[in-house]
């Protein structure tokens, strides 16, 4: 089995080491004997965006300016990207790129930053940022139930899609309804940096399995010894719960 993974705009959107998500996916595939073909795409890239031959897309977070530049570039591929997602394509969008898939993003000056308008998501920024470590109980049935990460965003995001989880410690989408992120088919949007996947190997495996299911007749992944990873995860959980 093999997966074609597209790392998009990591030269622009890579706050708090979001590129580590790609490293995590690569390693967890390698340990299982799953071949990975890595591709990178950014502004001015020579790599062709052939969505029919992409199994997973990873996009990190960045500044408002970076988000605006990337959104404007991705608009050229909007219809193909929308078709990719509606047909079960796997995509992880972190922070600014999560906001970018919505209808509107208004910065702290009230200026509207160009968005892809692929999901009914509204985001507006406020002067006081939502910053700190965050603990979430995931809503997609994974074990462990907890997700950990680091958030730093001025944006308050609102939508009616299924959330990635419920905030137990921290702020999440908007610091009001206690929801974090969103899930639509195999699209995950989240504010969690860290990078996200090394801190939450069960989410990494969830993403890998969904990509494989969309390509092969696969029901589960080969188990790995995640003792070290889960101990590190649980250590942060306990710290945030003051245990």
Options 95, 124, 153, 171, the catalytic residue: 95
Closest CA to 151 of 171, 175, 127: 171
Half-sphere exposure of 210 (CA within 13 A, CB side): 24
**Catalytic: 95?**
yes
Options 159, 171, 193, 202, the catalytic residue: 193
- The answer to whether 41 and 47 have CB atoms below 8 angstroms apart is yes
Closest CA to 42 of 17, 16, 15, 77: 77
For 187, other C-beta atoms within 10 Å of its C-beta total: 22
Distance from the Cα of residue 75 to its chain's centroid: 19
**Catalytic: 193?**
yes
- Would you please indicate which residues are annotated as catalytic (active-site) residues? 95, 193
């Amino acid at each position: 089995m093999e997966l074609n993974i597209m790392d998009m705009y990591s030269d622009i959107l890579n706050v708090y080491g979001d590129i580590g998500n790609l490293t995590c996916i690569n390693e967890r595939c390698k340990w299982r004997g799953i071949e990975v073909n890595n591709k990178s795409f950014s502004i001015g890239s020579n790599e062709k965006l052939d969505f029919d031959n992409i199994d997973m897309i990873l996009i990190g977070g960045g500044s408002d300016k970076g988000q605006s530049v990337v959104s404007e570039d991705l608009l050229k591929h909007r219809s193909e990207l929308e078709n990719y997602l509606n047909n079960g394509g796997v995509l992880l969008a972190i922070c600014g790129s999560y906001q970018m898939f919505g209808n509107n993003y208004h910065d702290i000056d009230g200026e509207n930053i160009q968005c892809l308008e692929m999901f009914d998501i509204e985001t507006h920024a406020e002067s006081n940022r939502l910053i700190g470590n965050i603990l979430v109980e995931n809503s997609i049935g994974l074990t462990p139930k907890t997700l950990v990460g680091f958030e730093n965003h001025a944006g308050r995001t609102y939508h009616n899609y299924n959330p990635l989880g419920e905030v137990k410690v921290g702020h999440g989408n908007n610091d009001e309804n206690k929801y974090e992120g969103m899930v639509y088919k195999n699209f995950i949007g989240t504010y969690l940096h860290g990078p996200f996947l090394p801190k939450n190997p069960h989410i990494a495996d969830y993403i890998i399995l969904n990509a494989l299911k969309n390509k092969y007749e696969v029901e589960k992944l080969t188990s790995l010894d995640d003792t070290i990873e889960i101990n590190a995860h649980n250590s942060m959980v306990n710290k945030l719960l003051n245990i």
